[in-house]
Amino acid sequence: MNRLHPMMRRSQWSALASLFSLIVGSSAVAQAQTNDAAPAAAPETPAQPTTAPKAKDGAANEPPNSQADEATSAANKDEAKTEEAASPTDNDSPAKAAANASPDPELTGAQEIDAAKNEQTGKEDTASADAEADADAHDEISDADFEDFLQESKLGEEGAGPTFDIYGFADFSYVQYLIPNDSPWRLLYNNKGAFSVGNLNVYFDSQITETIRSLAEIRFTYLPHGSVTELGPPSVRTPNYSSDYTRSERDVIIGGIRIERAWLQWAPHQLLKIKAGQWLTPYGIWNVDHGTPTIISVSRPFMVDEQLLPESQSGILAEGRLDLADDIALEYAAGISNGRGPIDVYFDYDANRGLSGRLKLLFTQLGELQVGVSGYTGKYTNAQTNIDLDGTTLKSVDTISLQYKEMAIAADVRWQYGGFLFQSEFALNDRKYSDEGRETSYLPNSLAPDSRRWGVYAVSGYRFDWFGVMPYAIGEFSPVPNTSIYELPREVVLVGGGLNIRPIAQVVFKLGYDQAIFPEQRPTTFDEHTVRRLQAQVAWAF
């Protein structure tokens, strides 16, 4: 598979090698013409052929269910250059190289010229063939998930130092909600149409040793600028400006950063990889492979963003892979974390650890088929700690504002055969509140009941060779976020389709249309109002 990287590829090294060989050959011809009447002296040491340095392929993928690229990393190229410099030939000058180009002392001056030309032609043919082979390898890129599309670094030759890569993805979209001006949905969705940069995610990836790796993914965002702080009426969006002392105190927009993941991994064997830090919860397909270049539709399915299982967790995760046969493999993941909570990335209010698990089977006999099941259980607690005076002693007291236990399961399937793709995910979440932590309902003077929420989506398409065009169709059923202000629909059915166009592996153009249908259709509620949406996007990897 191909590894795309913004830095120099092997094919470029081969081209440089060809240019160097041409210079050496020209020097050989000039030297032969100068010594036309005398045979060239036999070299003491045969000349070392000039070849393009080869970087070592193969790296542990993140995530484990991705497809890898075949282009080498910049770190491996630097390593290859170091190896080449460490093995100098005796040809310290073009003249000595020209002499070594004619090792037979019986050749005449004219024969030397012919021999030098023939040898140079052979070198150019070899270098050209290497470059063409590398170029062909770079063209063999399938619909890789973004993480595989940007395969992480690995050490080159044994004993080399740490490597460090920076790469990422971004997207630019136009979204037009097709809703009337008097629709209540305008409290949430703008029907004027707007351009936006949605994601700018940067990866900092280091292979510290052969078994230790570090990865951090950072998303840069305009938020909280313009975020909805009050769901009206009127709906309030709060700007986030600050005066800039370098611009004569003029206001500038202040955005933010979001840490998507940051972990250190120890991988002593294929059967065992241990991550410590913040990691994406191993469930489904598009929670881990969340880069917009890999997502078929313009945006992820609604039920994935609903987070029926946590999107990410802070804790320890063990992963591994067992090859059962040539075309069958089993992957697993098991994790322990702070669980879900208001500030669960670094704080745990209840000391009730969250537990996660996943099993995935991969079959490659008939295309590429993966089937996975996942689970999560934990307790959510939001509390405040106060100080009370008990007689003459100060004591801390926790006041719980929200608390519930949750158990969630998920299943997924993905089958790719040639240009055909089918993918589906299912997730279910059961929530049971504690007596003291039950939240209020949207109804007056009432409390929220225990709940079961579930969602499912399916997407299918076929990618043609012509400009990488894929027509696709998508449908899903999803719960809607709870709100204590309005009685929003509790369920939504979304149907739609569009085009996904990948002219080159790094860039994807998308055009999509979908429509929301609310099954309950309760009178005098949001259910009565349909939402339609038209979207266009370009997403790219760098």
| CA diameter of the chain | 114
- C-alpha–C-alpha distance, residues 257 and 216, integer Å: 13
- C-alpha–C-alpha distance, residues 281 and 270, integer Å: 20
Fold (topology level) of 162-432+448-541: Porin (2.40.160)
- Is 84's pLDDT higher than 50? no
Name the nearest CA neighbour of 199 among 170, 239, 230. 170
- C-alpha–C-alpha distance, residues 145 and 134, integer Å: 22
Name the nearest CA neighbour of 263 among 309, 310, 314, 311. 314
- Is 433's pLDDT higher than 70? yes
- Long-range contact pairs involving 384-389 (C-beta distance under 8 Å, separation at least 24): none
Q: How many CB atoms lie within 10 A of CB 242?
A: 10
- C-alpha–C-alpha distance, residues 361 and 330, integer Å: 5
Cβ 476 vs Cβ 457: under 8 Å: yes
Task: State the average pLDDT over residues 18-23.
Answer: 51
Q: How confident is the model at residue 486 (pLDDT cuts 50, 70, 90)?
A: low
pLDDT value at residue 139:
43
User: Quick one: CA torsion of 94, 99, 102, 104, rounded to 10 degrees?
Assistant: -170
Q: Under DSSP, is residue 104 helix (H, G, I), strand (E, B) or coil?
A: coil
- Is 46's pLDDT higher than 50? no
- Is 453's pLDDT higher than 90? yes
- C-alpha–C-alpha distance, residues 166 and 153, integer Å: 10
- Is 56's pLDDT higher than 70? no
Q: Which residues neighbour 343 within 8 Å (Cβ) at sequence distance 6 or greater? A: none
Give the pLDDT confidence of 246-299 residue by residue, as tens digits: 999 999 999 999 999 999 999 999 999 999 999 999 999 999 999 999 999 999
* DSSP codes, 146-169: HHHHTPPP---STT---EEEEEEE
Give span(s): CATH 2.40.160.10, the chain.
162-432+448-541
Verdict on whether the full-model pTM lies above 0.85: no
Task: Return the minimum-mean-pLDDT range out of 188-192, 193-197, 241-245, 267-271.
Answer: 188-192
Query: Which amino acid is located at 421 in the chain?
Result: L
Q: Under DSSP, is residue 20 helix (H, G, I), strand (E, B) or coil?
A: helix
Give the pLDDT confidence of 387-428 residue by residue, as tens digits: 888 778 888 888 899 999 999 999 999 999 999 999 999 999
Give the pLDDT confidence of 313-350 residue by residue, as tens digits: 999 999 999 999 999 999 999 999 999 999 999 988 88
- Is 35's pLDDT higher than 50? no
- DSSP structural state of residue 69: P
Is residue 256 within a helix (H) or strand (E), and if so which, with residue range? strand 256-269
pLDDT value at residue 519:
87
Radius of gyration of the chain (CA): 30
**For the ranges 94-98, 190-194, 210-214, 247-251, the one whose mean pLDDT is highest:** 210-214
- Is 443's pLDDT higher than 80? no
